[in-house]
Amino acid sequence: MVAMSQPPPLIALCARVLTFSDEGKRDAFSSSQPYSRAVARAGGVPVLVPPIRELYNNAHTVLQHFDGVLLPGGGDVDPRRYGQQPDDDTLYGIVEAHDELDTAICLAAIDLDLPMLALCRGMQVMNVALGGTLVQDIGNSDHWMREHTVTLSEGCTIAKVVGTTHLEHCHSVHHQGIGELAPALLPCGWSEDGQLEAVELPAATWVVGVQWHPEDTAPHKPQQQALYDELVRHAAARAHAIG
């Protein structure tokens, strides 16, 4: 956890549109609680960035106020963003505003060299934003609401963070996967069935992506919480360095 001798770092967390069906209720912006709780445990302050045009059209300016970025999970990325036609029988949860926000925040964070942790859909967004593609449906439910192990490359960034190349208790909730990997990204983790589960961006100070949800098991698995701890540690170091 980050020492509290300086203001805690602010972590930008992309929010989602939440639509109420009850009469008289207004639409809202939301985020799954485990993301924010994991950031807070690490000593950071999660701040939601809603998918509003004025914000994602000015992502660089928005991120000037932050020390790090958490690119979260969510629905599917529109396949037209990586040159494919949608398979409507398998896709779900495509929201243009979510794609716009996540992509803009991702690219701005990389350009500003902000520490960034990209999770599940977030890793997929990063791959697409940098020129890669996705497999629209992996053809099985082996990664839907399942815990599994991930084998990490020796010496990779994530292995150094978690202290092992054999990471357990990786909780996945995805039916898509990485297709063509973006040239800028380095593959560094795989599940037992060969699915690519972790990537890093070597050109950045600290940008990593994992296909699972570490926040789901982080409350009782320190190696999973360590990914959030390291995000916040790098964010705090950057905040301190720039004064």
Residue 105 has a pLDDT of 98
Burial environment of residue 230 by CB neighbours within 10 A (0 to 12, 13 to 18, 19 or more): buried
pLDDT for res 3: 53
Mean pLDDT of the chain, nearest integer: 94
pLDDT number for residue 1: 57
So what's the pLDDT on residue 137?
94
Cα–Cα distance for residue pair 162/198, rounded to 1 Å: 13
| Residue with tokens 């999973």, as numbered in its chain | 224
| Domains, the chain, ordered by start | 10-241 (3.40.50.880)
Output Rg (C-alpha) for the chain, integer angstroms. 17
The pLDDT of residue 6 is: 83
Q: How much is the pTM?
A: 0.94
**Tokens 């929010």, located at residue:** 15
Inter-CA distances, 48 with 70, 100, 216, 227, Å: 10, 15, 19, 19
- Cα 102 to Cα 121: distance, rounded to the nearest angstrom: 10
pLDDT of residue 218: 97
Q: What tokens does 77 get?
A: 């990325």
Say what the pLDDT of residue 28 is: 85
Question: Among 2, 3, 39, 33, which residue's Cα sits nearest to residue 18?
Answer: 33
pLDDT of residue 136: 96
pLDDT in tens, the chain (243 residues): 555 568 999 999 999 998 765 555 678 889 999 999 999 999 999 999 999 999 999 999 999 999 999 999 999 999 999 999 998 788 999 999 999 999 999 999 999 999 999 999 999 999 999 999 999 999 898 899 999 999 999 999 999 999 999 999 999 999 999 999 999 999 999 999 999 999 999 999 999 999 999 999 999 999 999 999 999 999 999 998 887
- Half-sphere exposure for 141 (CA within 13 Å, toward CB): 1
**Residues, the chain, total?**
243
pLDDT at 64: 95
